[in-house]
Amino acid sequence: MTRRVSASLFALVLLAASLAALPRAGQPSAQKHFPPKGEWARRDPAALGLDKAKLDEAIAFAVENQNARTKNLAEDIVTTFRREAPYNNLIGPAQERTGSNGVIIRRGFVAGSWGDTDRADMTFSVTKSFLSTTVGVLYDRGLIKDLHARVATAMPAGVDLFTSEHNAKITWDHLLRQTSDWSGTLWDKPDWADRPEGPTMEEAKNRKMYEPGTRYKYNDVRVNVLALAALHVAKEPLPQILKTAIMDPIGASDRWHWEGYNNAWVTIDGRKMQSMTGGGHWGGGMFINAWDMARFGYLFLNNGRWGDRQLISEKWIGMARTPGVSTGYGFMNWFLNPNQRSLPSAPASVVTFRGNGENIIYIDWENEMVVVVRWLAVPRDRGGSNGFFQRVLDAKID
């Protein structure tokens, strides 16, 4: 009992510290620029405290180091996850992608952009950040009252996602932090086949089990379990909730779409609905352009506010930015930068939403920046993704 109380107090201290450290925008929201749908005002980089020549160098670096793999994502996905065969087959949509593109926002205005920023491409695991935000909407609405409550208690009769002795212990917090160790098969994909542990699939199948909440393991099957559990609570398609609560208010385009798997259909209260994915691992996920990704990042740069509306609570953002078992990971897919380990050139407070490809939304409160970079593949000897962000930050002149 003492250990449980101590752990709870420690979690509360972390949350309080995260909320206290949540950077505040320097201007009242009424004075900040919130771009209307379909346009985003540009400013000369110098007017935004950036050196144009150095900014152009950073953009050229991104183009030079763009992903060189095939643009046929249906082929690329299967190849990327070939070790998971025979479970690496696609069960959701995929499409051919474009090349390097991105957007650089500072102090609310466009400082630079490049490539085909209007194309709604797959964004892979950045989808997880849209999923966790949708769960945040349910939390803010009171449909999920306690993240440390067992998910099983919110499931209707007949839903067996959390009925086993092991899975019954799983909480919403465990699912959000990817520490659930949920065990089972969903949409014909067994949990152990996702990024299998061990040299053979047979050894992966007989994997060691871990107590929920004790070990971080990136796993798309378990992410999809969260999406299905949230659907049962919401009783409304998650893309519709995201659209009305977040995407429409921030002025997102009509081009984005969130896709599920062909076999991911359930009936809730007599209504047939498709459960969503948390990425493009087997196809599906969020198809979105760079401008809409930038708007999503800009919402969080402004601590959940858009204009005079608080779209997602600061409490939720504070929890999302609080590390769990993995000190570099908050809620999915809030990648943190403790001690500047992930991005040595960026402030420790930076958060990135990341997906395969590599697709990144970079949120930097200290420097009032949101950067979207798509299809980036910087070699390690050139600094990885940090090599790009280092060049962007080197462009600052104030």
Q: How confident is the model at residue 87 (pLDDT cuts 50, 70, 90)?
A: very high
The verdict on whether omega for the bond into residue 263 sits within 30 degrees of 0, i.e. cis, is: no
Residues 6+ apart with CB under 8 A from 383: 390
Closest CA to 323 of 4, 14, 12, 88: 14
Residue type, 136: G
Beta strands, E only, the chain:
101-106, 109-114, 121-122, 185-186, 189-190, 257-268, 271-276, 285-288, 305-306, 309-310, 351-355, 359-364, 369-374
User: pLDDT tens digits, residue range 233-279?
Assistant: 999 999 999 999 999 999 999 999 999 999 999 999 999 999 999 99
* Token couple for 72: 């046929």
- The C-alpha angle with vertex 379 and arms to 374 and 381, in degrees rounded to 5, equals 145
Give the C-alpha separation, 65 to 55, whole Å: 15
Alpha carbon dihedral 225, 229, 232, 238, in 10-degree steps, equals: -80
Question: Which pLDDT value is given to residue 198?
Answer: 85
- Residue 388: is its pLDDT beyond 80? yes
C-beta of residue 133 within 8 angstroms of C-beta of residue 312 = yes
Angle subtended by helix axes 127-140 and 220-234, to nearest 10: 30
pLDDT tens for 327-357 read: 999 999 999 999 999 999 999 999 999 999 9
The tokens of 308 are what?
């005079």
Task: Assign 3-class secondary structure to 213-243.
Answer: CCCCCCCHHHHHHHHHHHHHHHCCCHHHHHH
Map out the domains of the chain as residue ranges.
Answer: 2-125+285-394, 129-276
- Render pLDDT for 185-197 as a digit per residue (tens, 0 to 9): 999 999 999 999 9
Beta strands at 351-355 and 101-106: parallel, antiparallel or unpaired: unpaired
**How far is it, in rounded angstroms, from Cα 364 to Cα 121?**
24
Question: Does pLDDT of 88 surpass 50?
Answer: yes
Write down the pLDDT at residue 7. Answer: 45
- Contact between residue 177 and residue 147 where contact means Cβ atoms under 8 Å apart: no
Check: CB of residue 337 under 8 Å from CB of residue 66: no
Kindly report the backbone phi and psi dihedral angles of residue 393, in degrees, each rounded to the nearest multiple of 5, phi listed first. Answer: -70, -30
Q: What is the pLDDT of residues 19-78, one digit of tens each?
A: 445 544 334 445 899 999 999 999 999 999 999 999 999 999 999 999 999 999 999 999
Burial 52-61 (b: 16+ CB within 10 A, else e): eebbeebbeb
Ramachandran area for residue 158 (φ above 0: left; ψ -120 to 50: alpha; else beta): left
Please determine, for residue 2, whether its predicted confidence score (pLDDT) is greater than 80. Answer: no
Sheet containing 369-374, strands listed edge to edge, beginning at the edge strand earlier in sequence = 109-114, 101-106, 369-374, 359-364, 351-355
pTM, full prediction: 0.92
Other Cβ atoms within 10 Å of 257 Cβ, number: 13
pLDDT over 90, % of the chain = 91
For residues 232, 234, 239, 244, the Cα torsion angle rounded to the nearest 10 degrees is 170
Q: Which helix (H) or strand (E) segment is 20 a member of?
A: helix 2-21
Cβ atoms of 127 and 355 closer than 8 Å: yes
Angle at 114 between CA 124 and CA 36, to 5 degrees: 80
What per-residue confidence (pLDDT) applies to 15?
52
Q: How far is CA 86 from the centre of its chain?
A: 27
In the beta sheet, which residues pair with residue 335?
329, 352
For the record, the structure tokens of 262 come out as 């062909």
CATH 3.40.710.10 fits 129-276, yes or no: yes
Task: Give me the DSSP letters along 154-198.
Answer: GSPTT--TT-STTGGG-BHHHHHTT-----SEETTEEGGGSS--S
Per the CB < 8 A criterion, the answer to whether 280 and 122 are in contact is yes
Extract the tokens encoding 213: 């909440």
Do 151 and 135 contact (CB within 8 A), yes or no?
no
